[in-house]
Each structure stands twice: as structure tokens, then as C-alpha cells.
């Protein structure tokens, strides 16, 4: 029987790609050598080239300069989310830091350069740690122009128009309250102006510019429950729909006269394209998720970061002749050697309260039933369980051991309409926990399920939800796992990155004015009801979930004699940047879950 590490991808990727101006090379971030370094590979295929050799940093975002002579990237240290910006040559030489200054969070957009490559756009909270400004840096003179957001708005820069006149920025109040702002770069005193205000509130998330600078594309929920693609025309201030589906448009890209967009169809990414307003045929994708893409005119080439449930994330080229052509190979030993057969998830819909229905993915092992089940809860909460190779092979390893996995998209999840997503706003541990309660009821009635052996696991928000299940739902759980999960919502709201203050108040709650509600919904409040064996994993440098709160939860449980295993990673933050740490964590989770789910059920 193959062990957990036989299911581990040979490398992992950050969700970022950059295509060189000549469309011949793609840059990406991979941990093939332990840390997330900057790599390049020819689009035609060949041997990948490692450009950085980082010891305690992780490359998070990449962009190519317009002349192809350099790249810029953002990297943080040991997961502290204090990103710094660097410039490097395409051969890995001449590494320099851009805008070196105080420790702060610097955010690099997907298209940070102007057309000439002289100006670079990024965001930073260097002036005030609670405010995320946008800066336009002249790379020749070393000067900067700063744009300050209105109160309660977090600026996320998008880019400079091709004619060099306009700076486009997104203004976030929450994931569902986003506006588009423009600033005239010809006027040194100009302030950013919200250009979508006349269309009301809601989602107006700006995207790429049209090549003639006549306007920009954006994602909006203006016309219904699902997110559509639209075009904002500068001359008239009008919004024109360009892509409408019965699912969310998840990303839009433009290159020359080619417009490409991806649609989240019940969790699966589907691609659509037009060139000069005519449909452009694209090869079919296997069921999976496109987490990043890079586009050349006429989609020649179209490079994607493609992740499926049965093959880990890979950098791949899509073309009409070859279909999907992989540039990397991250397949684990268990599949390349044929010692295990991967499992595809099946979509499931189950009823919840108030006439609502919840979509889920159900992975059934190839082994004979009845199967113990892991209830797996995604992070976010405004995220989605999708058909991808998750948890560094943990899912497929557990399936090979005979453990089924049920992964629901409970209240707060994206992909199923704005109303479903907003149910969790200022209501953590409400409708979402009710949906998890109904998930257990569904499983207990499902043929082939061993109802006496159900465990729950989650990371980040999913860790909170897993702890809430253990503490507040009346079931005899076989085990629980919390990975970077907040046990105390008041502490979570206080510890959030300073620039997130208004966002957290809108989505979670204000730690000063909402302390009563946040305490009432915190798992730590119900710690004395937790009896199931528990594995808690925590990053010592986590900037969001304070280690002290995990320490307190573990001490409370151990004081009552609960079986608690506690793992603290001294050089990690909210998640993993070191590959060996990540593999050790998931190996521990696999051992813990197999030990409790495959043992005979208690009498």
C-alpha cells in the first residue's frame, strides 16, 4: 500500500503566471526545490530554469517588463504577508529590491507596468498601516506618486491604460462591495474618482484595459445573481455586458483583439474567447480549475495553471492542435507507477434549512463499503470547494485507504450566487454551521457510509468551522483537524492585517462593538463540549490567527483529558511556504485521521 508521500505532487505552484512579451517564455512560482522560487520555461517545451534561490521567502506574484528585459515579483518572508518587491533579469541576474523601505505589505497587480515599462504600480501600507495606498513609481528617477483611498476602502491597483493617461484601481469594502476608480496621471494633483458609483453598489471589480484605452473590462453582479463580464466605456460612462452565464465569470483577460474569460460552472473552469468580436474556438479542458492564465493575441499561446482532482496543478499550454500540452510534470509516484487509481469526485446536492440546497463534492473510494467519511470544509469563507488536487495529495491518499471525503459548499461559499455568499456576512457559525449539520444528516442516511466514523477537517475559516462542528453539533465525532483555524473570533478580528479592518468589520464583525456576538459564535466558548480526538496545527508567525488562542484552546481541552495533538511550525504563518513543513503537516494529518477512522468504531 503506498504511503502518503507517494501521493504528494512533485512540486506545487502559486496562482501566478506571466508570459514574456514575445510569447516565448512563461514565468511561474514553484516549490520544486523546497521554497516558492521564480522559474521560467519555454512555451514550446523544454527544461525549466530556476531564477531565484530563496532561503526564507516565497514568490507570490510575477510580472514581465514590456521590453522582456526583466521581471518583477513580490515575496514575503516565512509567511508573514509583508511582501517586498524585486526586479530580476530573465537569466536570474541583477536582482534588486524596488522601493526598499519600512516593513509593510506591498501588493503587485497582474499588470503593473505602463506601456513603456518606465512606471510601476503597486499598493502599500507604508504611510499608515491601516490604509493601503496606491503608488506609481518612476523606475528611472526613483520618484513616486501616491493615491490615498477614501475612508473604509482598500485600494487594489489594476494598471495604467495603454496610452499612459489613466490609473485604474479597485476599491474594496468587501468581496461583494467593490468599485472601480480612475485617476488622471497627467494631473499631479488629481485624486482617484469612483466611476462606477452611478451604477449603484455591489460588485464592480475592474480588470484589464482595452488595447485602445477606450475603457476597461470588469466583473459585476449588476444584472443578476451571478457575476457577469462587462465593459466600461470611458467616453460615456456606460457599462456594456460582454459575457453573461448562469454561473459566475471568474476572470477576464485581454491581448490585442482577443478577449478571453473563464466561467466557474459548478466549480469547474470553462474557457470562452472572442477575437475581433467573433467566437474563437478553444480546446476542451478536463474537469478542473484554472487558477491563473496568460494570454497572447488570438490565444496563441494560451498558458494556464490547471488543477484537477486526479492530476495536480500544472503549467500547461492550450492550443487547437495539441489540446492540453503540459510544460511541467507534478504527477505523484502513486499514479505514475500505477500503484493507486485516482478518484474523481461526483457532484451532490443536499437539502438544508429554509428550503435551501447545498452543492458538494463527494469522493467515493474504490474499496468496498461501508466507508468512514471525512467532512472537509474549505477556507475563506468566501471561497469554494472545487475539483482540484487538494491538500498536497491528502485527499487521494485517504481515498486509497478507504476513507470517503464529503466537501460541501456551505453558506458563504462563492460560485452559487450572491445571496448564498452573503449568508455568512456577520453570521459566522450561523447558516454555515446549519448547512454542516444537514451535511452530517445527509451522510448518515447515505448508503455505503459508516455513520459511526465521521471526522471533520478544515483550514483557516474551515478550521473555525471544524471546531464549531466539534463544539456545537450533537454528534459523536470520530476525530477533528484544525489547520490555522481561529477558535476565538474576537481575537481573529483584532489580529487581522491593519488594512483589513473595515473589510473584517463588514464580513465578520467589529471586535469592539460586536464582541458579544463574536464571543457567542467562537468555538472556545464551547470548548468544554469538545470530546473528540483533535489535531491542531498552527503557524507561530501567523499574522491572522494568534498562536496564543490555539495555545489556550489546547490547554483547555487537555485540562479535561481530551486527546489533543498540537503541532506548531515556528517558521510559518497562515499556511505553508516551506515544502517540507507542508508535507510533514499533511503526513501527520493523514496518520491521525487513518488512526481514528480506520480503527474499529467504539461500541
Q: Which residue range(s) make up the domain with 233?
A: 116-244
Which tens digits make up the pLDDT trace of 508-533? 999 999 999 999 999 999 999 999 99
Task: Give the pLDDT score at 79.
Answer: 73
Task: Give the pLDDT score at 256.
Answer: 86
Task: Give the pLDDT score at 459.
Answer: 95
Distance (Å, whole) CA 44 – CA 51: 19
Whole-Å CA distances, 382 to 306, 457, 508 = 21, 17, 11
Domain endpoint, select from 244, 268, 288: 244
Which tens digits make up the pLDDT trace of 254-269? 998 899 999 999 999 9
Give Cα 571 to chain centroid, integer Å.
Answer: 21
Please, what is the angle between helix 461-472 and helix 431-444, to 10°? 70
Three-class secondary structure assignment of 257-269: CEEEEEEEECCEE
Average pLDDT over residues 299-317: 94
Helix (H, G, I), strand (E, B) or coil at 458: strand
Q: Is the bond preceding 129 in cis, omega lying within 30 degrees of 0?
A: no
Domain endpoint, select from 214, 244, 274: 244
Task: Give the pLDDT score at 600.
Answer: 67
Distance (Å, whole) CA 407 – CA 388: 12
Of 238, 218, 216, whose CA–CA distance to 161 is shortest?
A: 216
Query: For residues 50, 56, 58 and 59, what is the CA-based torsion angle, rounded to 10 degrees?
Result: -50
Residue 25 lies in a domain: no
Task: Give the pLDDT score at 575.
Answer: 85
Q: Are 362 and 239 found together in one domain?
A: no
For the chain, percent of residues with pLDDT exceeding 90? 78
Q: Are 217 and 363 found together in one domain?
A: no
Residue 228 lies in a domain: yes
Which tens digits make up the pLDDT trace of 4-46? 999 999 999 999 999 999 999 999 999 999 889 999 999 999 9
Q: Are 211 and 355 found together in one domain?
A: no
Give Cα 224 to chain centroid, integer Å.
Answer: 24
Domain endpoint, select from 205, 226, 244: 244
- Is the pLDDT confidence value at 76 over 90? no
The C-alpha cell that represents 223 in the structure block: 444584472
Q: From the CB of residue 112, how many other CB atoms can be counted at a distance below 10 Å?
A: 25
Q: Are 239 and 366 found together in one domain?
A: no
- Is the pLDDT confidence value at 602 over 80? no
Q: Are 231 and 370 found together in one domain?
A: no
**Considering its fold, how many domains does the chain have in total?**
2
Element (H, E) at 582: helix 579-597
Q: What is the DSSP letter of 285?
A: P
Task: Give the pLDDT score at 601.
Answer: 57
Task: Give the pLDDT score at 204.
Answer: 97
Cα atoms found within 13 Å of the Cα of residue 537, Cβ hemisphere only: 29
- pTM of the predicted model, to two decimals? 0.88
Average pLDDT over residues 80-87: 87
CATH at residue 459: 3.40.50.1820
Residue 218 lies in a domain: yes
Q: Which region among 102-111, 336-345, 508-517, 533-542 has the lowest average model confidence (pLDDT)?
A: 102-111
Q: Are 229 and 363 found together in one domain?
A: no
Element (H, E) at 549: helix 547-559
CATH at residue 201: 2.120.10.30
Average pLDDT over residues 226-247: 95
Residue 225 lies in a domain: yes
Residue 199 lies in a domain: yes
Strand-pair partners of 25: 42
The C-alpha cell that represents 174 in the structure block: 468587501
Task: Give the pLDDT score at 310.
Answer: 94
Residue 177 lies in a domain: yes
Residue 10 lies in a domain: no
Residue 286 lies in a domain: no
Distance (Å, whole) CA 174 – CA 543: 19
Distance (Å, whole) CA 14 – CA 466: 26
In 387-499, where does DSSP find H-type helix?
Answer: 394-400, 418-422, 431-444, 461-472, 489-495
Q: Between these two residues, 319 and 42, which has the higher pLDDT value?
A: 42
Distance (Å, whole) CA 388 – CA 314: 11
For the chain, percent of residues with pLDDT exceeding 70? 99
Contact, 313 vs 32, CB < 8 A?
no
Task: Give the pLDDT score at 327.
Answer: 96
Q: How high is the mean pLDDT of the chain?
A: 93
DSSP per-residue letters across 145-199: EEEPPPTT-EEEEEEE-TTS-EEEEEEESSSS-EEEEEEETTSTTPPPEESSGGG
Cα atoms found within 13 Å of the Cα of residue 458, Cβ hemisphere only: 30
Q: Are 367 and 221 found together in one domain?
A: no
Amino acid at each position: 500500500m503506498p504511503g502518503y508521500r507517494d501521493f504528494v505532487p512533485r512540486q506545487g505552484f502559486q496562482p501566478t503566471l506571466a508570459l514574456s512579451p514575445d510569447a516565448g517564455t512563461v514565468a511561474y512560482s514553484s516549490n520544486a526545490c523546497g521554497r516558492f522560487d521564480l522559474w521560467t520555461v519555454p512555451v514550446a517545451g523544454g527544461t525549466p530554469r530556476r531564477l531565484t534561490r530563496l532561503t526564507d521567502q516565497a514568490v507570490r506574484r510575477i510580472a514581465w517588463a514590456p521590453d522582456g528585459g526583466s521581471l518583477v515579483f513580490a515575496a514575503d518572508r516565512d509567511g508573514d504577508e509583508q511582501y517586498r518587491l524585486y526586479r530580476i533579469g530573465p537569466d536570474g541576474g541583477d536582482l534588486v529590491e524596488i522601493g526598499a523601505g519600512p516593513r509593510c505589505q506591498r501588493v503587485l497587480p497582474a499588470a503593473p507596468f505602463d506601456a513603456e515599462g518606465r512606471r510601476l504600480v503597486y499598493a502599500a501600507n507604508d504611510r499608515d498601516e491601516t490604509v493601503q495606498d496606491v503608488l506609481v513609481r518612476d523606475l528611472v528617477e526613483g520618484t513616486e506618486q501616491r493615491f490615498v483611498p477614501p475612508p473604509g476602502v482598500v485600494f487594489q491597483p489594476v494598471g495604467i491604460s495603454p496610452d499612459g493617461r489613466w490609473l485604474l484601481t479597485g476599491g474594496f469594502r468587501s468581496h461583494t462591495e467593490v468599485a472601480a476608480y480612475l485617476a488622471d496621471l497627467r494631473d499631479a494633483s488629481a485624486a482617484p474618482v469612483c466611476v462606477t458609483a452611478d451604477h449603484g453598489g455591489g460588485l464592480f471589480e475592474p480588470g484589464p484595459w482595452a488595447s485602445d484605452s477606450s475603457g476597461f473590462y470588469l466583473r459585476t453582479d449588476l444584472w443578476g445573481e451571478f457575476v457577469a463580464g462587462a465593459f466600461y466605456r470611458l467616453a460615456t460612462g456606460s457599462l456594456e455586458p460582454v459575457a453573461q452565464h448562469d454561473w459566475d465569470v471568474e476572470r477576464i483577460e485581454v491581448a490585442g483583439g482577443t478577449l478571453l474569460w473563464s466561467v466557474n460552472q459548478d466549480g469547474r473552469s470553462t474557457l470562452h474567447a472572442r477575437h475581433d468580436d467573433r467566437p474563437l474556438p478553444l480546446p476542451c479542458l478536463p474537469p478542473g480549475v484554472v487558477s491563473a492564465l496568460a494570454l497572447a493575441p488570438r490565444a496563441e499561446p494560451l498558458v494556464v495553471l490547471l488543477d484537477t482532482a486526479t492530476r495536480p496543478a500544472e503549467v500547461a499550454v492550450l492550443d487547437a492542435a495539441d489540446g492540453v500540452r503540459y510544460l511541467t510534470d507534478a504527477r505523484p509516484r502513486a499514479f505514475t507507477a500505477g500503484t493507486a487509481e485516482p478518484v474523481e469526485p461526483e457532484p451532490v446536492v443536499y437539502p438544508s434549512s429554509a428550503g435551501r440546497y447545498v452543492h458538494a463534492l463527494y469522493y467515493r473510494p474504490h474499496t468496498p463499503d461501508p466507508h468512514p467519511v471525512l467532512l472537509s470544509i474549505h477556507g475563506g469563507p468566501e471561497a469554494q470547494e472545487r475539483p482540484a488536487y487538494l491538500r498536497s495529495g491528502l485527499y487521494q491518499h485517504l481515498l486509497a485507504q478507504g476513507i470517503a471525503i464529503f466537501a460541501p459548499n456551505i453558506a458563504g461559499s462563492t460560485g452559487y450566487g450572491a445571496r448564498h455568499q452573503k449568508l455568512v456576512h456577520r453570521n459566522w457559525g450561523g447558516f454555515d454551521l446549519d448547512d454542516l449539520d444537514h451535511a452530517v444528516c445527509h451522510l448518515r442516511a447515505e448508503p455505503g457510509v459508516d455513520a459511526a466514523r465521521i471526522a471533520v477537517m478544515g483550514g483557516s475559516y474551515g478550521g473555525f468551522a471544524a471546531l464549531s462542528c466539534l463544539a456545537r453539533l450533537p454528534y459523536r465525532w470520530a476525530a477533528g483537524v484544525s489547520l490555522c483555524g481561529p477558535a476565538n473570533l474576537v481575537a481573529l478580528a483584532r489580529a487581522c492585517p491593519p488594512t483589513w479592518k473595515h473589510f473584517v468589520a463588514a464580513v465578520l464583525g467589529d471586535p469592539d462593538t460586536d464582541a458579544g456576538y463574536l464571543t457567542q459564535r467562537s468555538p472556545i466558548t464551547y470548548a468544554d463540549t469538545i470530546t473528540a480526538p483533535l489535531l491542531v496545527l498552527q503557524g507561530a508567525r501567523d499574522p491572522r490567527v494568534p498562536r496564543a488562542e490555539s495555545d489556550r484552546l489546547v490547554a483547555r481541552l487537555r485540562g479535561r483529558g481530551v486527546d489533543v495533538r498540537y503541532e506548531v511550525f515556528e517558521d510559518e504563518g497562515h499556511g505553508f511556504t516551506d515544502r517540507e513543513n507542508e508535507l510533514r503537516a499533511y503526513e501527520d494529518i493523514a496518520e491521525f485521521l487513518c488512526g481514528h477512522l480506520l480503527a474499529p468504531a467504539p461500541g
